[in-house]
Structure 1
Amino acid sequence: MKTHVKALVVGGGAIGTSIAYHLARAGWQDVMLLERDELTAGSTWHAAGLLPLFNMSYATSHIHDYSVKFYKTLEEETGLNPGFYVVGNLRMAQTQERMDEYMLYASTAETVGIPYEWLTPAQIKERWPLVRTEDLKGAIYHPTDGYINPADVTQAMAKGARQRGVVIERKWQVDGYEWTGSEWKVTATKMTEKGGNLVPTDEQVVITAEHVVTATGNHAQRTARLLGLKIPAIPVEHQYIVTEPDPALVEWRKAGNPEHPVLRDADAKWYVREERGGWILGPYERGAPARFLYDVPESFRADLFPLDLERIEEEYMSMIHRIPSTETVGLKDDFNGPICYTPDGNPLVGPAPGLRNMWLAEGFSFGITAAGGTGYYLAQMMVEGEAEIDMASLDPKRYGNWMTTEYAARKNEECYEHVYILHHPDEEREACRPLRTVPAYDRQKALGAQFGQVNGWERPNYYGPVDAPDNFDHDARSFRRGGWWQYAVNEAKAIREGVGLIDASAFTKHLVRGPGAVAFLDRFTCNKLPNVGRINLTYALTGAGTTRTEYTIVRFAENEFVLISAGAWAAYDADYLRKAAEDFISASGDWVDIHDISTQWGTFAIAGPKSRDVLKEIVKDAEPETVLSNKRFPWLSMRKIELGMCPVYAVRVAYTGELGWELYHPIEMQNYLWDQLMEAGAKHGLKPVGARAQNWLRQEKSYRAFGTELGRDATPLEAGLDRFVDLSKEFHGKQAMLDKGIRSKCVTLLIEGPEDADPWGREALYDGDTRVGRLTSGGYSVVFGKSIGMGYVKPELATPGQKLKVKMFDQLWDAEVVPDSPYDPKNEAIRKDG
């Protein structure tokens, strides 16, 4: 057995074998895979093998699309048939709202290049007469996918990996990981059969590996414990049943008709496909429990749980309704096995937090669909430094250390239950909430705040009527303008015309100081560092020259800075910052100290033409009339002020593009400060404002947002942020950024869309009949009275005045590229004196 490799993959299911295969195909010559049992012994063996392309995530759609295409090539390469049946996938809709969901998805699919067709109920009935259609609105049909044999495709990938030099060792369990500072020492124990169980022997080996990838499936909690991490990948029971042959189906096939596509009745929460003359029914019912919260029992191998037919009775009866011929067909077999989930349903793919050269590929609820693409894009990250698509939405660090086992288990159960629940872009799931709340939470709730969750924090999305019922936000959700829309309009107008108050306490805040702070940050970020008492917007780049993180840097002293970044990416940003600092300290010997102060400081953003008037009411200064003037407090500066009895670091900047300040305050004084601001603002018409209005307002100023316009698939220059890039200095990723050139360009568009809807930022952009780009953000502009969006197009189309089309609800709507900052392009509102 080899004891030194370049890459060690732990886990021999579909995910692990794909990663090993793709690492070898990418050029790594020394790759080994360890499997504690047999290949496919985990969830892979009992997976139904479906390959659904339908997914609202841009990154996951790319992953699934690659898998479907890749699996079709395996037989030619390996000689093994992966058992791919390209029968198509028919996703039916019982309601117009479900069709709205499909149309939003379809536009996302177009940005990836996934083909689809629309079918009416009559067309469904004509093609597949066994399906009842009179209560359907229609369906979306994917002709290129279907289902595959999970064991066969795994073995085909394993053979392909072996042909490329990968060593696969079975019956070896990893029991320890140790980082030496340059490589991993992995302790593995030989396993053997005993009484039907798999038990460890006395034989052990230590394998040295430059890189380790864990793809341990249901054993993710054991992996987390061995690595000292928190990994919110916990299995949930998923059951499906196989029926006896259906005489009507048998006759249909005997007559020479093709196999039915995989049928999905999303409103009934199930999928159905043919299986040897019968049917497989897979429901996603309520009440499926999480399992293996801490470990998988040693006795659990290729085992199953008892079937709970009562739990899926509703879904079973709905199958009979949709396919009436199944009513008299008996049950032949049943499966109830563990399938790993994460709180948001997306897998955890990428570098492990806090560790070097440790990569996670855990939490796959659709593992067979994702295996091929995960191997491909993860291998790119490992071999080339970055993938060709932005993988941040799948990064394991999107969950911080506040996440607990109980949280992950309950959220994973909720995620399973929501597989076929309508995926509104404005949905807010309720499990485990509220959990992280700022002191002013109750005050905001009393004013009608309807909250969203960001990195566990409760953050007001908008303020509805004070006497709203508890389910008000739920009833407001829509693929069009929901019940919340008018409230967000009023809030946006309040900031443009008067004054609004936003709770931005979820911002991530890092204090960076020490004798090496200046040199470190100068190399770490691409813009000039601000002078003391000033701020700058800047970016940390990946090694590939793309945008890794956006920061507002506030300079408190010569060697003391606060870095402010998006609240949703706290652990993600912290890990990159700390690892970069460690590398700097190691190379230079200079000390840099980093503290996460996010939960010590609350943040309120006050903005609007009257924001200075409100602050003057409560600011304590020898000259209160001038303390907030341009002379004493210019734009893009920071001052320590006193608001009543609350000490505040005030930063003169506003993400809304209006006159305004961000007020950083001791979190324990937040209620006091909130009350002071609301009381002082009453006579000026101050209105509390939520995140949805803020999102619209920042698009009127063409302010890019991390996770939408900014990510690891575009450089700051492609994002149109040239003014924040100082090419006169050296910084991490600079040459790679320049080498990439301008492949696409970020633009702002005003859109003549439907009267009852705005884009969500997932839509395809067209020049005539040619797809030329995609939106990354969308919403409504109160200034221009129409829809607005931001996105990327071919560079030659990124010219103000360029006429384009946006795909919404299966129609093309007129759009026009406008100059950046269509509202107040000269920043006169922001610079207003007083």
Structure 2
Amino acid sequence: MKTQVKALVVGGGAVGTSIAYHLAKAGWDDVMLLERDELTSGSTWHAAGLLPLFNMSFATTHIHQYSVEFYKTLEAETGLNAGFAVVGNLRMAQTDARMDEYMLYASTAETCGVPYEWLTPDEIKAKWPLIETSDLKGALYHRTDGYINPADVTMAMAKGARQRGVAIERKWQADAFEWNGTHWEVICTKMVEKGGNLVPSEEQIVITAEHVVTASGNHAQRTAQMLGIKMPAIPVEHQFIVMDRDPALVDYRAAGNVEHPVIRDADAQSYVREERGGWILGVYEKNAPARFEYGVPDSFRADLFQLDLERIEDQYMAMNHRIPSAEDCGLKDDFNGPICYTPDGNPLVGPAPGLRNMWLAEGFSFGITAAGGTGYYLAQMMVEGEAEIDMASLDPNRYGDWMTTEYAARKNEEAYDHVYILHHPDEERPACRPLRTSPAYDRQAARGAQFGQVNGWERPNYFAPEGFSDHDSRSFRRGGWWQHAVEEARAIREGVGLIDATAFTKHLVRGPGATAFLDWFTCNKLPSVGRINLTYALTGAGTTRTEYTIVRLAQDEYYLVSAGAWSAYDSDYLRKAIADKMPEVGYVECHDVTTQWGVFAIAGPKSRDVLRDLVRDAEPDTVLSNKRFPWLTMRNIELGMVPVRAIRVAYTGELGWELHHPIEMQNHLFDALEKAGEPHGMKLVGARAQNWLRQEKSYRAFGNELGRDATPLEADLPRFVDLSKEFHGKQAMVDHGIRVKCVTLLIDGPEDADPWGREVLYNGERRTGRLTSGGYSVAFGKSIGMGYVQAEDAVVGTKLKVKMLDRMWEAEVVEDSPYDPKNQRIRADG
């Protein structure tokens, strides 16, 4: 057995074997896979093996699509049949709202080139007469996926990995991970059978590995404890039952009819597929409990939990309605096993927080579907430095240290029972809330704030009158909240509005080496003392890793502000980069000060008037003027009794300031601002109106327009790139070229809907790109969006089409910052 390898993969399920296979295929010839029991002995063995392609996530859709195509090639390579039944996938809708959801699914799938077709109830009945269709509105049908045998596909990938030189060792458990400065030393224990249990023996070895990947499935909490990190991957019970033979189905197939597709009845929280003349029913019901919050018992191997039929009674009755002939089938077998989840349902794929060359592939609720693509894209990240798609939405660092076991368990239960709910793009899930709140939370709630959650923080999405229900207002079109957001956006354009931006991520970087480090770390010129710059930190591949507003407080002291959703993600990258560069540039300190500073953003043509009533200065009439306080500068000012780090910048594109203040003084400042704003008609404004307003200014957002699949030049931001200096990722960015470009579009869409930022774009019959943001423009009175198109289509005036609600709508590429392109309003003096 080898004791020194380039990469060690821990976990022998479908995900782990795929990673080992793809690392070898990518050129690493010294890879080992370690499994504590037998291959597939975790959740893989009892998975239903479905391969659903449709997903509202761009990255996850690519991952699933790769898996489906990859699995079809395994038999030719390995000689092993992976058990792939390409029967198709039928997503049925009982309501118009569900059809709206499928239209958004379909447009998102189209951005990735996934084929689909629509079926009416009559067409469904004609194809599959055993299905009851009288209560259906229609269905979305994808003919190229289906289901696969999880054990067979895992064994095929394992054989393919061995053929490429991967060593696969079973009955070895990883018991400790120690970083020696250049490599990982993994202490491994031989596992032996004893009384039906798997127990550690006295035999141990140490494997030295340059890279380690954990794909430990249900054992993720044990892995997290050994690594000293937090990981919200906790299993939830999942039940499915296998029915006896259905005579009607047997006769149907005997007549020469093809197998039914996987039948997804989302409104009944279930899926059904054929199984040897009978049916398999799988459900996503409420009250399925999380398990193994603190680790898997040693006695639990390829085991199952007690079936709870009462919990799935409604879904069982719904199946008998949907397939009436199944009502007389007996129960042949049942499965209730653990399947890992995360709070948002997406797996954790990427670098482990705070650790070098430690990679996570954990928390897979759809592990069979995702295994192939995860191996492919994670291998790209490890071997080439970055994947060809933006994997940030799956990054393990999207959860911070504030996350606890209790939070993860309850949110994972919620994610499970939300698999088949209507996934409105404006959806806000209620579990574990409120948790992280700014001091002004109660004041804003009393004024009608309807909160969203970002990185655990409660943040107002919009404000509504008493008695308004955010849940009831959600829609795939313009929901009940839409008019409130319109009024808030208009208030900022015409008067003044106040936004709570406390969730912004904030870092303090200082020390003798701070200037040299940040000059290398970011692509724009550093500001002079008292000024600010917008800049980007790049990946090694030259794409955008993080966006920062950098405020220079002193010669070697900087205040970095970045997106609130990405605190741990930004912090981990920043700290690792400092550690790499500090020997060269000198001492650098980095402090995450997010929770020390609250932020209010005040914006609108009357914002200066509001602040004048509060500012304490020898010359209060001029302290906020362009002469004393120009655009893109920072000043320490006093607003009443509150010392404020005021930054003259506004994400809305109007005259405005960000007011960074000691968080313990937030309520005093809120009350003072509210009182001063009352004579000027100041309105409280939420994130949805702000999102619309920033699109009118073509302000890119990280996680939307900015990500690891495009460079700042492709984002069409050359003004924030200083090519006269050397910075991390510069040459790779230049070599990358410009394949696509970010554009802003005004859209003549439907009267009752706006784009959500997930829609496909066409130039004639040619697919040219996709939207990354969408909404409504109060300035132009129509829909607006931002997105990426092929470079030749990024010319102002180009006529495109965007697919919304299964129809093509006219869209036009407009100049960058179509609202106030010369920034006259944001620079206004007074």
Q: TM-score, normalised by structure 1?
A: 0.99
The equivalent of 2:538 in structure 1 is: 541
The Cα offsets for residues 671-690 of structure 1, whole Å up to 9 and x where unpaired, read as: 00000000000000000000
Deviation at 1:468, TM superposition (A): 1.8
- Say which of 508, 511, 526 aligns to 2:508: 511
The Cα offsets for residues 91-140 of structure 1, whole Å up to 9 and x where unpaired, read as: 00000000000000100000001110100000000000000001000000
The Cα offsets for residues 770-805 of structure 1, whole Å up to 9 and x where unpaired, read as: 111000000000000000000000111101100000
Deviation at 1:54, TM superposition (A): 1.4
| Pairing 1:685–2:664 present | no
Deviation at 1:586, TM superposition (A): 2.8
For 1:468, give the aligned amino acid.
G
The equivalent of 2:616 in structure 1 is: 620
Q: SS at 2:813's partner residue?
A: strand
The equivalent of 1:474 in structure 2 is: 471
Aligned length: 830
For 1:774, give the aligned amino acid.
R
| Pairing 1:423–2:420 present | no
For 1:545, give the aligned amino acid.
G
CA distance in 1, matches of 2:583, 2:104: 48
CA distance in 2, matches of 1:36, 1:620: 67
For 1:480, give the aligned amino acid.
R
CA distance in 1, matches of 2:224, 2:529: 42
The equivalent of 1:440 in structure 2 is: 440
Q: SS at 1:258's partner residue?
A: coil
The equivalent of 1:407 in structure 2 is: 407
For 2:720, give the aligned amino acid.
F
Deviation at 1:585, TM superposition (A): 1.1
User: Where do 1:566-581 residues align within 5 Å?
Assistant: 566-581=563-578
The equivalent of 2:156 in structure 1 is: 156
The equivalent of 1:662 in structure 2 is: 658
- Say which of 776, 779, 782 aligns to 1:780: 776
User: Where do 1:35-184 residues align within 5 Å?
Assistant: 35-184=35-184
CA distance in 1, matches of 2:77, 2:534: 50
User: Where do 1:89-488 residues align within 5 Å?
Assistant: 89-465=89-465, 467-469=466-468, 472-488=469-485
The Cα offsets for residues 284-336 of structure 1, whole Å up to 9 and x where unpaired, read as: 00000000000100000000000000000000000000000011111000000
Deviation at 1:416, TM superposition (A): 0.2
Identity %: 81
The Cα offsets for residues 248-275 of structure 1, whole Å up to 9 and x where unpaired, read as: 0000011010000000000000000000
For 1:710, give the aligned amino acid.
L
Deviation at 1:587, TM superposition (A): 3.3
- Say which of 692, 703, 709 aligns to 1:696: 692
| Pairing 1:494–2:502 present | no
Q: SS at 2:594's partner residue?
A: coil
The equivalent of 1:640 in structure 2 is: 636
CA distance in 2, matches of 1:586, 1:11: 36
Q: SS at 1:213's partner residue?
A: strand
The Cα offsets for residues 637-691 of structure 1, whole Å up to 9 and x where unpaired, read as: 0000000000000000000000000000000000000000000000000000000
- Say which of 732, 738, 741 aligns to 1:742: 738
The equivalent of 1:606 in structure 2 is: 602
CA distance in 2, matches of 1:419, 1:587: 49
CA distance in 1, matches of 2:415, 2:591: 33
Deviation at 1:203, TM superposition (A): 0.2
Q: Which runs of 5+ in 2 are unaligned?
A: none
- Say which of 627, 650, 653 aligns to 2:646: 650
The equivalent of 1:824 in structure 2 is: 820
User: Where do 1:771-810 residues align within 5 Å?
Assistant: 771-810=767-806
CA distance in 1, matches of 2:485, 2:582: 47
For 1:356, give the aligned amino acid.
R
Q: SS at 2:426's partner residue?
A: coil
CA distance in 2, matches of 1:704, 1:55: 24
Q: SS at 1:739's partner residue?
A: helix
The Cα offsets for residues 9-56 of structure 1, whole Å up to 9 and x where unpaired, read as: 000000000000000000000000000000000000000000000111
Q: TM-score, normalised by structure 2?
A: 1.00
The Cα offsets for residues 576-606 of structure 1, whole Å up to 9 and x where unpaired, read as: 0000000111334x10001111000000000
For 1:811, give the aligned amino acid.
R
CA distance in 2, matches of 1:701, 1:677: 26
Q: SS at 1:251's partner residue?
A: helix
For 1:200, give the aligned amino acid.
P
For 2:306, give the aligned amino acid.
P
Q: SS at 2:613's partner residue?
A: helix
CA distance in 1, matches of 2:572, 2:593: 15
CA distance in 2, matches of 1:243, 1:725: 62
The Cα offsets for residues 488-531 of structure 1, whole Å up to 9 and x where unpaired, read as: 00000000000000000000000000000000000000000000
Q: SS at 1:286's partner residue?
A: coil
CA distance in 2, matches of 1:362, 1:55: 19
Deviation at 1:736, TM superposition (A): 0.2
Please give the root-mean-square deviation of Cα atoms over the aligned residues, in Å: 0.4
CA distance in 2, matches of 1:468, 1:723: 47
CA distance in 2, matches of 1:110, 1:561: 43
Deviation at 1:769, TM superposition (A): 1.4
CA distance in 2, matches of 1:649, 1:767: 47
For 2:567, give the aligned amino acid.
A
CA distance in 1, matches of 2:236, 2:802: 39
The Cα offsets for residues 711-744 of structure 1, whole Å up to 9 and x where unpaired, read as: 0000000001100000000000000000011010
The Cα offsets for residues 361-396 of structure 1, whole Å up to 9 and x where unpaired, read as: 000000000000000000000000000000000000
Q: Which runs of 5+ in 1 are unaligned?
A: none
CA distance in 1, matches of 2:49, 2:638: 62
Q: SS at 2:599's partner residue?
A: strand
Q: SS at 1:208's partner residue?
A: strand
CA distance in 1, matches of 2:494, 2:548: 28
CA distance in 1, matches of 2:467, 2:668: 26
CA distance in 2, matches of 1:494, 1:547: 33
CA distance in 2, matches of 1:354, 1:295: 22
The Cα offsets for residues 40-80 of structure 1, whole Å up to 9 and x where unpaired, read as: 00000000000000111000000000000000000000000
The equivalent of 1:26 in structure 2 is: 26
CA distance in 2, matches of 1:181, 1:481: 54
For 2:554, give the aligned amino acid.
A
| Pairing 1:709–2:690 present | no
The Cα offsets for residues 419-471 of structure 1, whole Å up to 9 and x where unpaired, read as: 00000000000000000000000000011000000000000000011x125xx
